[in-house]
Amino acid sequence: MLLVIDIGNTNTVLGLFDGERLVANWRLVSSHTRTVDEYWIAVKLLCAEVGLTAEHLNGVAISSVVPDLTTSFQRMIRKYYRLEPLLISTRLDLGLQLLVDNPGEVGADRICDVVAAKNQYTPPLVVVDLGTATTFEVLDSNGDYIGGAIAPGMITAAGELFHKAAQLYKVELKPPDHLIGKNTREHLQTGIFLGHVAMIEGLIMRFQKELRLPNLFVVTTGGFCEEITRNSDLIQVADPNLTLNGIRLIYERNRRN
């Protein structure tokens, strides 16, 4: 059994794989105040839900964009599982090239996204990962990563708006009842949710123009990926577990080393 851990700025997602099959996955808040032992208790209880103990695990892989939490999870895995986790980085065999100015700047989560997308879909394509930031990853026809874009995530942007505007209030982030809103709630939902969809579609259309590919395949992952995909005419697939599958694939390519 393989435990994969995707540590993000807002959430940490854990997945258990039996071969290629994702047995279970869970989402935790990425907390800097939890101790190594507290993380162990959380992981232990989650695994117990599906009848698994430390003895069932024979591998662990971590993708992280939060260095402090990387250290905490490494210590937890070493202490309680007696395993050395594989850390996702550009130094590993990825099965593709990172054709950008500085490959070392590409986040581990973005690496996992493109590795999984190349394996599961047919390039050229774009991966849109909806997290603290909304990131865009572009693969060329050879399946190599040629670049992308980073924008504020939908929740990140909305939180800043609610913080700065005294008379606005938090609303559920979903499509409004009316595109042209009839009240403040609908105004915010149109601007925040559908505005984010419009931003994503606008960048996709510009990618299509630059690459001269009018039918560029697009897959989304991360929070809200299914809702965003349902409300877009340019996105073909929502794949919530894309990053976890990417971690697994990279682990499988590199475990012998």
Query: What's the rounded Cα separation, in Å, for the pair 128 and 199?
Result: 11
Which H, E and C letters describe 3-26, residue by residue?
A: EEEEECCCEEEEEEEECCEEEEEE
Determine which one of 109, 129, 144, 239 is catalytic: 109
Judge whether 90 and 36 are in contact, CB under 8 Å: no
H/E element, 64: strand 59-64
DSSP string, 114-174: HHHHHHHS-SSEEEEEESSEEEEEEE-TTS-EEEEEEEE-HHHHHHHHHHH-TT------S
Between strands 125-130 and 237-238, the pairing is: unpaired
Q: Identity (one letter) of the amino acid at 172?
A: E
Active site residue 109: yes
> Catalytic residues, which ones?
109
